[in-house]
Amino acid sequence: MKKINIAFGIHNHQPVGNFDFVFEHAYEKSYLPFLELLEKHPHIRLAQHYTGILFEWIKNHKPEFIPRLKKLVDSGQIEMMTGGFYEPILSVIPYKDKVGQIQKLNRFVKDETGYDAEGMWMAERIWEPQLPKSLSEAGVKYVVLDDSHFKSAGLTDEELLGYYVTEEEGKSVYLFPIYEELRYAIPFQPPGKTIELLRSLATEDGQRLIVFADDGEKFGVWPNTFEHCYTNGWLESFFKLFEENSDWINLIHFSEAIEQIKPAGRIYLPTASYREMMEWAMPTSTIHKYENFEHTLDEKGLLEENKVFVRGGFWRNFMVKYPESNNMHKKMLHLSARLERLRGDFLLDPKFVAAQDHIWAGQCNCPYWHGQFGGLYLNHLRHATYKEFVQAEILLDELEYRGTKNWIEATVVDFDADGFKEILVSTPEIWMQFSPQNGGSLVELDFKSKAINLLDTMTRREEAYHKKLLQAQGNNSDGHSSGDEGDIPSIHDMMVMKEQGLEKMLHYDWYRRTSMLDHFLHPETTLESFSQSKYTEQGDFINAPYDHTVEDEGKKIKFSRQGHVWVESDWVPVQVEKEVTIFPETTKLKIDIAITNLDTQDRTFWYGSEWDFALLAGDAPDRYFVAPEHKFDDNKLRSMGEVSNLNQIGMRDEWLGIGIDLKVDEPATVWRFPIETISQSEAGFERVYQSSVILPNWKIECCAGETWRVSIEVDLKSI
C-alpha cells in the first residue's frame, strides 16, 4: 500500500497592544474550539505554536486552558513550538535580542507545558541567510518555511516532499517546506480534496513527507470560518477523514520526522517570505506592474508553471515604503544600543531587565508592515509599540541619570539611516526627533509620563488595493468573491467594505505628515482643498533641507532656510528661521518663527505652521478640541473646521489623561481636520483615524527686507 507522512503545525498569535476583546473573541472562536476538537480526536497529532504575547494572555485570563493543553502535550498528541516571544521579525533585530526572545519563549513553554521546544515558527516566514547561527545558539533545531522559499532556490514540487538542512558558520538547522497547495486548500476547500492530494503523492516506500503549517486564526477567526469550521463541521470532518485513512496517512511530528526520515539534502535559501508579503513590500506602482504581469502570464497559461520565477520584493523595504515603520525600527535600534551601553553596569538591575523586555515587546512585527491586513495602519498597534519604547526609555533614564533633575541631552546623528542627520533631544519629560533635511520638522514627540508618541500618525498613501475598491464601487459590487461549490473564499480573495463611500475618502499626501512644517498657501486655498492635499503650495520649504545649529547644550535648536515663494508671477526670495526653545524642567516647547521678505518689493504671504497630533480616537466623546475663546459646534477630534482670531487651541484625551495646548502670540485663523486612512484588514476596507492637524495661519504683509515674527508654544499636560 502506498503511504505518506504529513506534519501539521498551527501558529496562534495576537499582537502587542491588541484590544482585550480581540483576544477574547479569538480564544472563543478559534483557540478553545480547536483544542476541544483535538481532545475528541486523540489520533490527530500536530505542533502548536502560541506566541508569548498570546500565551501570557491565556495564562492570565483563561488559566483553565493550559492544563488541558499540557495533557495533550503529555500524551504526545501535541508538540510545542517556540519562536521569538513577542513575534519579532528576527532578521531585523539585534543578535542578542534574537537569541534572548527565543530563549524567553522556550522557558515559558517549558514552565507551562513541560515541553522542551526544538522547532520554531518564523514570524511571517521571513527568512534571511544569516539566521541559522542565532537560531542554533538559541536551541532551535528546526524551522518551517513556505515552499516558495525552496522553489526560489531551484527545487521542484517533488523535491519539496521532505526536509533539508542549512547552516551559517557551521551552525545548522533543519528546514521544512510548507506545501502551498495545502495552505490554500485548508480549510477553504472540501476535506476530501486534501485526501485526494495526499493519495496522489503517496509512495510504496512511504518516505515522502508533506507539511501543512499556517495561522490558527483561519480556523474560526477569519471571516465566515467559525461557521464553516465548527457550526458546519468542516474541521471535524477533516479530522475524521484522517482517522479513517490512518492506514496509509501517517500523522508525524516534526521532531519525529527528523529521527525517522533522512534529510533530502543541504540547501541555502535566499531572502524570502510568503509570496503575498513579498508583493506587498514593493512600491505601489510596482505592485500594479507585478499584478499586470501575473495576469498576462495567466491569460497565456504560463503562470502556474512559472510563478516560482515571479517574485516580489524584500521585507526590509517596508521601511523604505513607510517611513513610519522605519522610525519605529530605528527607535528600537537606538534603545537597544543604549541598553547595550549600560549592560556592564546594570545587567542584573531589575530596571535593566524590565527595559530590555519593553524593547523586546516593541519588536512585535505587526505594526511594521502592511498588506492584506491592517498592521501599520492600525493606530492602536503603533501606539502600543511606542508605549513600550517610551517605558524602556524612562527606565534607562533612571539608570543613567540616577535621579539628576532638569538634565538635557542633544545628539546630532543619522537616526533613521537615510544618509542625513537628525537632531535628538531628551529631557526627563520629553524626547524629540527633529529632521533638518525634511522641512526642519518635528518628527517624534514622546510625552514620557504618558508613554506616548504624540506625533504618531500616518501619511495618506495610495495602496495597490485602492484600485480594487474603486473598481468594486464602479461595478456596484459588494466585494464578495465566490468559489467552486463547497469552497469558501480565502481571506486573500475577499473584499468587503465596512462603510459606504470609502472611495470618496481616498486622499493622498505629497509630503510626509510631520509637525512644525512651513506652508505658504495659494490665495485660492480652502480648508477642504488643504485637508485633501489638493491645494497649491507656493513655497519650496516642505520636504526641503534647513540649516541647523544646536546651542546651549540642546536647549535651543535653530533652523533656517533661504528659499522662495510664488507671489502672483514672481519667485520671491524668502528666509524662514525657526528657533526651538526646550525647557528641561517642563513639558513646554517654544518655537519662534521669523519670516523675512528678501525681495525689493513689498509682498503679501499666506503662511501656516502645521502641527499633527495623534490621540488615537476621533469620535470618542472624551477626546475633543478646546479653545478658551471659542465654543465648537463639533469638538470631536475627527471634526473639521475653521476659527478666526484665535490665540489658543487645545486637544484633550480624558481616557489617556493628556492635554495638548497650542498657543500663538499673534491671533491666527486656525484650521483643524482629521488625517484618516482607508486601509484593508481581515474585516474588509475600513476608515482609520490617525491624527488631527492643527494649522494656525496668517496673511502677512511684509515690506521689502522686513521680518514678520510669531511665537508658538506647545504645552503638554497631564489631566
3-state secondary structure of 484: coil
With b meaning 16 or more CB within 10 Å and e meaning fewer, what string describes 404-427? eeeebebebeebbeeeebbbbbbb
Q: Is residue 464 part of a domain?
A: no
Span of 217-226, 377-386, 477-486, 516-525 with lowest mean pLDDT: 477-486
Q: Is residue 445 part of a domain?
A: no
CA 696/CA 670 separation, integer angstroms: 4
- 477 confidence band (pLDDT: 50, 70, 90): very low
Q: Is residue 39 part of a domain?
A: yes
CA 203/CA 82 separation, integer angstroms: 32
What pLDDT score does 63 carry?
Answer: 97
Task: List, in order, residues 6 or more apart from 71 with CB less than 8 Å away.
Answer: none
CA 521/CA 536 separation, integer angstroms: 7
Residue-wise pLDDT tens digits, 450-461: 999 999 999 999
What pLDDT score does 501 carry?
Answer: 86
What pLDDT score does 374 carry?
Answer: 67
Q: Is residue 568 part of a domain?
A: yes
CA 202/CA 249 separation, integer angstroms: 8
Q: Is residue 342 part of a domain?
A: no
Give the total residue count for the chain.
Answer: 719
CA 457/CA 676 separation, integer angstroms: 9
**Contact of 689 with 577, CB cutoff 8 Å:** no
Residue-wise pLDDT tens digits, 43-53: 999 999 999 99
C-alpha cell at 619: 469620535
CA 198/CA 358 separation, integer angstroms: 45
What pLDDT score does 307 carry?
Answer: 84
Task: List, in order, residues 6 or more apart from 420 with CB less than 8 Å away.
Answer: 414, 435, 436, 437, 545
Decide if pLDDT at 305 tops 90.
no
Q: What is the DSSP string of 58-69?
A: HHHH-TTHHHHH
What pLDDT score does 479 carry?
Answer: 43
Q: How far is CA 261 from the centre of its chain?
A: 39
Q: What is the mean pLDDT of residues 252-269?
A: 97
What pLDDT score does 137 carry?
Answer: 97
Q: Is residue 74 part of a domain?
A: yes
Residue 655: which domain range?
506-718
Decide if pLDDT at 573 tops 50.
yes
635 compared with 496, residue with greater pLDDT = 635
Count of structural domains within the chain:
2
Residue-wise pLDDT tens digits, 328-359: 999 999 999 999 999 999 999 999 999 999 99
Residue-wise pLDDT tens digits, 74-91: 999 999 999 999 999 999
> Of the candidates 273, 293, 309, which is a domain's last residue?
273
Burial of 144 (0-12, 13-18, 19+ CB in 10 A): buried
3-state secondary structure of 582: strand
> Of the candidates 258, 273, 288, which is a domain's last residue?
273
Angle subtended by helix axes 350-361 and 323-346, to nearest 10 = 160
- Across the chain, mean pLDDT equals 94
> Of the candidates 216, 250, 273, which is a domain's last residue?
273
Instruction: Using alpha carbons, select from 392, 331, 337, 328 the residue that is nearest to residue 365.
Output: 328
CATH number of residue 242's parent domain: 3.20.110.20
3-state secondary structure 416-445: CCCCCCEEEEECCCEEEEEECCCCCEEEEE
Instruction: Please report, as a single letter, which amino acid is at residue 716.
Output: L
Instruction: Using alpha carbons, select from 12, 106, 16 the residue that is nearest to residue 53.
Output: 16
Instruction: Using alpha carbons, select from 147, 10, 166, 138 the residue that is nearest to residue 78.
Output: 10
What is the pairing mode between strands 46-50 and 78-82?
A: parallel
What pLDDT score does 161 carry?
Answer: 97
Find residue 572's DSSP bridge partners.
Answer: 565
Catalytic residue numbers?
124, 215
Decide if pLDDT at 589 tops 80.
yes
3-state secondary structure of 20: helix
Instruction: Using alpha carbons, select from 577, 578, 576, 567 the residue that is nearest to residue 600.
Output: 567
CA 311/CA 276 separation, integer angstroms: 9
CATH number of residue 669's parent domain: 2.70.98.10
Query: What share of the chain in percent tops pLDDT 90?
Result: 90
Decide if pLDDT at 432 tops 70.
yes
- 491 confidence band (pLDDT: 50, 70, 90): low
What pLDDT score does 476 carry?
Answer: 52
Q: Is residue 424 part of a domain?
A: no
Angle subtended by helix axes 379-401 and 323-346, to nearest 10 = 30
Task: List, in order, residues 6 or more apart from 197 with CB less than 8 Å away.
Answer: 181, 182, 185
CA 172/CA 108 separation, integer angstroms: 24
Q: What is the mean pLDDT of residues 95-122?
A: 97
What is the pairing mode between strands 452-453 and 422-426?
A: unpaired
- 61 confidence band (pLDDT: 50, 70, 90): very high
What pLDDT score does 481 carry?
Answer: 43
Q: What pTM was computed for the model? A: 0.94
Q: What is the mean pLDDT of residues 412-424?
A: 97
What pLDDT score does 483 carry?
Answer: 45
3-state secondary structure 635-691: CECCCCEEEEEEEEEEEEECCCCEEEEEEEEEEEEEEEEEEEEEEEECCEEEEEEEE
What pLDDT score does 10 carry?
Answer: 98
3-state secondary structure of 398: helix
**Any idea what the Cα angle at residue 59 is, between residues 57 and 61, rounded to 5°?**
65
Q: Which helix or strand (DSSP H or E) is residue 456 part of?
A: none
Decide if pLDDT at 528 tops 50.
yes
What pLDDT score does 365 carry?
Answer: 97
Q: Is residue 259 part of a domain?
A: yes
